[in-house]
């Protein structure tokens, strides 16, 4: 089977779907691989490294796409590329199927088997393929590094002959994968960290990292089978906002990570809370790409409100493109090898398999994923 690795064309996207180390291992399994020239350069992987790993390096973007039996991408294919896909091609990417109905239906019409990396289930068996988590981990790290750059305060306590500097106070809202990594990074940098999550079950994880868990009584709460927080009622959202006001007012850095899988992010930090913060403070909205948690945040902009910087940068993993590419490539490698039939040298994507049924969106000319089908039909 021929794997094609095109150069990413999404604005600002520096990652590459496959790194030379995994290219070499896949070729040893029986795949052949063509990488578009320059695909890995922004992430620190030269064309020569791919050639040394055994891949063909091609300058023609269209040829890489049209000859692929498996198309490995970070971002969803461009609409103009879909018509050049082989019928039956296995296209793997962050497809964003909840918001890309037209694109998904075009892929179905083209006969593509579209795999959405967002839809990999959070199960023990699928953990090694979970690209959302691998990228969120890095995003949590990047967020704190960015916050430390923009903050008027240093993060650690510092004792000098000129006086003692108190540690920065950091408040993380949401203790999922990104939030926990943000907590860990802020603690390593010496900050005083507090965190809140609507799922009381994560309090122990927060405390194990050395942070204080802020308790706000929202009534009965829980999480989905996938481990995501359940959506709050309007009354619960208001309770959360009121409960976190005092913590936000005292914080030097606030990071919001609240996401609702497949739905717009909830607004949990109002402008009034930002106006109550000290000048020189920083708020980072990690959910800005899905609507935002922070009133006034703007995608890919730094907005100043009463001397407080509100940062809405998207695509945070791309800021550490080398490591993000390595982790995403590992996720893809694990996905491909999990379903590789060594005898026939083909992928066995059994529709009854729990992972395949969850992440395959289109197949045999139709949208087959039940969740996505129901959304498109309005059910």
Q: Is 353 a catalytic residue?
A: no
**pLDDT at 222 (0 to 100):** 57
Domain finish residue from 288, 314, 340: 314
Are the C-beta atoms of residues 104 and 95 closer than 8 Å to each other? yes
**pLDDT at 228 (0 to 100):** 59
One domain for residues 364 and 259 = no
Are the C-beta atoms of residues 26 and 5 closer than 8 Å to each other? no
**pLDDT at 218 (0 to 100):** 80
One domain for residues 179 and 123 = no
Q: Is 130 a catalytic residue?
A: yes
Q: What is the CATH number of the domain that holds 47?
A: 3.40.50.720
One domain for residues 6 and 93 = yes
Number of Cβ within a 10 Å radius of residue 79: 12
Q: 261: domain range?
A: 136-314
One domain for residues 149 and 274 = yes
**pLDDT at 368 (0 to 100):** 97
Least confident of 151-155, 223-227, 290-294: 223-227
* Closest alpha carbon to 261 in 295, 235, 226: 226
**pLDDT at 238 (0 to 100):** 83
Are the C-beta atoms of residues 186 and 155 closer than 8 Å to each other? yes
Give the chain's mean pLDDT. Answer: 94
One domain for residues 220 and 78 = no
- As a whole number of angstroms, the distance between CA 169 and CA 164 comes to 15
pLDDT tens digits for range 329-370: 999 999 999 999 999 999 999 999 999 999 999 999 999 999
Kindly report the length of the chain. Answer: 379
Q: Is 133 a catalytic residue?
A: yes
- As a whole number of angstroms, the distance between CA 234 and CA 329 comes to 40
One domain for residues 233 and 349 = no
Number of structural domains, the chain? 2
**The pLDDT of residue 372 is above 70:** yes
Marked catalytic residue, from 47, 81, 130, 285: 130
pLDDT tens digits for range 85-98: 999 999 999 999 99
One domain for residues 123 and 78 = yes
One domain for residues 215 and 253 = yes
Marked catalytic residue, from 75, 122, 188, 241: 122
Are the C-beta atoms of residues 142 and 317 closer than 8 Å to each other? yes
Could you give the percent of the chain with pLDDT greater than 70? 97
Marked catalytic residue, from 228, 241, 357, 376: 228
Overall average pLDDT of the 265-269 stretch: 93
**pLDDT at 224 (0 to 100):** 57
One domain for residues 213 and 243 = yes
* Closest alpha carbon to 254 in 207, 210, 203, 195: 195
One domain for residues 93 and 197 = no
Domain finish residue from 314, 330, 361: 314
One domain for residues 287 and 178 = yes
Marked catalytic residue, from 2, 21, 37, 133: 133
Q: Is 135 a catalytic residue?
A: no
Q: Is 313 a catalytic residue?
A: no
**pLDDT at 227 (0 to 100):** 55
pLDDT tens digits for range 206-265: 999 999 999 888 876 655 555 556 677 888 888 888 889 999 999 999 999 998 888 899
C-alpha separations of 7 from 47, 86, 150, 320, 328 in Å: 11, 18, 32, 17, 15
Rounded to two decimals, what is the model's pTM? 0.94
Are the C-beta atoms of residues 146 and 153 closer than 8 Å to each other? no
pLDDT tens digits for range 296-327: 999 999 999 999 999 999 999 999 999 999 99
Marked catalytic residue, from 32, 37, 66, 127: 127
pLDDT tens digits for range 167-204: 999 999 999 999 999 999 999 999 999 999 988 889 99
* Closest alpha carbon to 341 in 350, 331, 332: 350
Domain finish residue from 314, 338, 367: 314
One domain for residues 274 and 359 = no
Overall average pLDDT of the 21-39 stretch: 98
């Amino acid at each position: 089977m021929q794997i094609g690795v095109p150069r990413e064309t999404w604005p600002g996207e520096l990652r590459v779907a496959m790194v030379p180390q995994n290219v070499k291992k896949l070729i040893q399994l029986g795949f052949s691989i063509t990488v578009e020239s320059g695909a890995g350069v922004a992430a620190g992987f030269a064309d020569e490294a791919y050639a040394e790993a055994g891949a063909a390096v091609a300058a023609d973007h269209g040829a890489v796409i049209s000859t692929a039996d498996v198309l490995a991408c970070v971002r969803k294919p461009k609409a103009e590329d879909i018509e050049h896909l082989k019928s039956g091609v296995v296209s793997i990417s962050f497809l964003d199927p909840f918001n890309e109905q037209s694109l998904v239906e075009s892929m179905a019409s083209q006969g593509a088997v579209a795999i959405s990396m967002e839809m990999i289930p959070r199960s023990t068996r699928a953990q090694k393929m979970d690209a959302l988590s691998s990228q969120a981990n890095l995003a949590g790290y990047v967020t704190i590094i960015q916050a430390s750059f923009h903050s008027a305060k240093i993060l650690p306590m510092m004792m000098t002959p000129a006086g003692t500097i108190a540690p920065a106070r950091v408040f993380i809202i949401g203790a999922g994968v990104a939030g926990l990594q943000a907590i860990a990074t802020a603690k390593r940098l010496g900050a005083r960290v507090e965190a809140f999550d609507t799922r009381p079950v994560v309090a122990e994880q927060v405390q194990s990292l050395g942070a204080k868990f802020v308790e706000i009584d929202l009534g009965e709460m829980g999480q989905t089978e996938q481990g995501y927080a359940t959506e709050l009622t309007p009354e619960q959202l208001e309770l959360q906002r009121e409960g976190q006001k005092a913590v936000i007012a005292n914080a030097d850095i606030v990071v919001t990570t609240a996401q609702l899988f497949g739905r717009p992010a909830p607004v949990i930090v109002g402008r009034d809370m930002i106006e109550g913060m000290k000048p020189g403070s920083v708020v980072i909205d990690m959910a800005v790409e899905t609507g935002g948690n922070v009133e006034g945040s703007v995608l890919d902009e730094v907005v100043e409100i009463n001397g407080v910087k509100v940062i809405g940068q998207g695509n945070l993993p791309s800021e550490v493109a080398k490591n993000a590419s390595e982790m995403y490539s590992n996720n893809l490698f694990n996905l491909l090898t999990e379903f590789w039939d060594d005898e026939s040298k083909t992928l066995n994507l059994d529709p009854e398999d729990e992972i395949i049924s969850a992440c395959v969106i289109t197949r045999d000319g139709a949208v087959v994923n039940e969740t996505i089908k129901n959304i498109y039909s309005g059910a």
